[in-house]
Amino acid sequence: MRANCHIEEIMTNKEWPLYEVFIRSKSGLSHRHCGSIHAADDQLALDAARDTYTRRNEGVSIWVVRSSRIVASDPAETAAFFEPAEDKIYRHPTFYDIPDGVENL
Amino acid sequence: MNQHQALLAYVSRLGDNGLILGQRMIEVVAAYPELEEELANANFALDYIGQARMFYTYAGELEGSGRSEDDFAFLRDENEFHNYLLIEQPNGHFGDSIAKLVLFDSFYLLLLEALKDCNVKRLAEIAARAEKEIRYHLRHNSQWLVRLGDGTEASHARVQDSVDSLWQYTGELFAADEVDQIFAESFAGPDLEAIQEQWKANVATILEEATLTMPGDGWMASGGKQGRHSEHFGYMIAEMQYLQRTHPGATW
């Protein structure tokens, strides 16, 4: 249990670690990020997410993950990361003639 | 005491337990150390009060004199509340609150499970609903007890103190009086001796995981179920009932 509690981290930081919360609102849909909470450890993060974000019947499944464990793209590199895709319109399926009679494509 | 009176007393007592514990927990709303636990505590308190409302409404119907849930909550005196002494104890520090809730919820969950099988349909339905809420409370609170007990030296010592000082109020949970006996015999109510045995085993498991020592069976306080309360009780209901007592019949 001790290892799971991040005791050293809590004792040196005073603040509980931050967790991101993902909730699946009903079966078949994917989990969506809905916010974050502080918690002493993983299990209590799940409880806190339940008490904070599913009070009004919002979910059937919860994921929590330590915010520090999320690998995120660097905002400073937005240009290098995303702009090259902008002018490659051939990657979008917009050059097809839609056959008559197909309503939803 | 006839069967009907015993049933009424039994249901009203269940309401008292929900209301008084809920009210105790509400006292610390907006004073919790962490926002997330604050929410959990407020949710739990409202669960207890919601259960009290169902019990009181039913008690009012059984009584047949037109008393509402509010009349039960706000217009009765100290000695008319028959809740356990354990739950009226002051909140103390966070460890005190957690220890109290673990000791009580461990019992209350078993009681509700048994009530689901009693032959009073209305009561069985309320118990089935309440059981789900309390199962989660116990899960959450016992996790905290484990973390405090198996946390630091300071947290271990403090929460062991909490368990030790609250232990004297646990005997009353299992001391069957006339109401319990009639309810058990006439309505297939809970067998408190069997519940006590199961409770001891369950609490021992939680305490062991929390590296805490289970106190021995010493002197046990009693009186709550007969309406004889500890000194803290009067102050609590004075605050709870202030508005209805000062402005009778006030609504919004």
Question: Which domains occur in chain B, in start order?
Answer: 3-246 (1.20.1260.10)
Architecture of domain A2-72: Roll (3.10)
Residue labelled with tokens 């109020």: B169
Residue labelled with tokens 């050293």: A8
Q: Are B123 and B131 in contact (CB under 8 A)?
A: no
- What's the pLDDT score for residue B136? 96
Point out the residues of chain B with pLDDT beneath 70: none
Is the ipTM of this structure higher than 0.85? no
* pLDDT band at residue A88 under the 50/70/90 scheme: confident
Which residue of chain B comes nearest to A38, CA vs CA? B36
Q: Distance from B106 to chain A by nearest Cα, in Å?
A: 18
CA angle B217, B219, B220 (to 5 degrees): 90
Contacts with B39 (C-beta within 8 Å, 6 or more apart), sequence order: A48, A51, A52, A55
C-alpha–C-alpha distance, residues B147 and B210, integer Å: 7
Q: Which of B79, B57, B92 is nearest to B237 (CA)?
A: B79
Q: Is B44 exposed, middle or buried (0-12, 13-18, 19+ CB in 10 A)?
A: buried
Q: Are B74 and B244 in contact (CB under 8 A)?
A: yes
Work out whether the CA dihedral A70, A16, B140, B52 comes out positive or negative. negative
- Please list every residue in chain A whose beta carbon sits closer than 8 Å to the beta carbon of residue B40: 47-48, 51
Q: Which of B82, B87, B109 is nearest to B179 (CA)?
A: B82
Share of chain A above pLDDT 70, in %: 87
**CB A1 to CB B209 under 8 A?**
yes
Q: Is B125 exposed, middle or buried (0-12, 13-18, 19+ CB in 10 A)?
A: middle
Within its chain, how far is the Cα of B198 from the centroid? 18
Q: What is the tally of helices (H) and strands (E) in chain B?
A: 10, 0
- Please list every residue in chain A whose beta carbon sits closer than 8 Å to the beta carbon of residue B147: 1, 5, 40-41, 44
Q: Distance from A4 to chain B by nearest Cα, in Å?
A: 10
* pLDDT band at residue A9 under the 50/70/90 scheme: low
Q: Given a cut of 60, is residue A19 above it in pLDDT?
A: yes
Report the pLDDT averaged over residues A19-35.
Answer: 94
Neighbours of A16 (CB within 10 A): 20
- What's the pLDDT score for residue A7? 53
Which two structure tokens, joined as six digits, stand for A4? Answer: 């799971």
Q: Does A3 touch chain B (CB under 8 A)?
A: no
Q: Smallest Cβ distance to A1: which of B40, B144, B146?
A: B146
- What's the pLDDT score for residue A1? 43
- What's the pLDDT score for residue B165? 97
CA quadruple B98, B100, B105, B106: dihedral, nearest 10: 100
Neighbours of B155 (CB within 10 A): 16
C-alpha–C-alpha distance, residues B48 and B126, integer Å: 12
- What's the pLDDT score for residue A2? 44
Q: Given a cut of 90, is residue A4 above it in pLDDT?
A: no
Q: What is the tally of helices (H) and strands (E) in chain A?
A: 3, 3
Q: Distance from B210 to chain A by nearest Cα, in Å?
A: 9
- What's the pLDDT score for residue A6? 53
Neighbours of B78 (CB within 10 A): 14
Within its chain, how far is the Cα of B134 from the centroid? 11
* pLDDT band at residue A13 under the 50/70/90 scheme: low
Q: Which stretch of DSSP H or E encloses residue B100?
A: helix B94-115
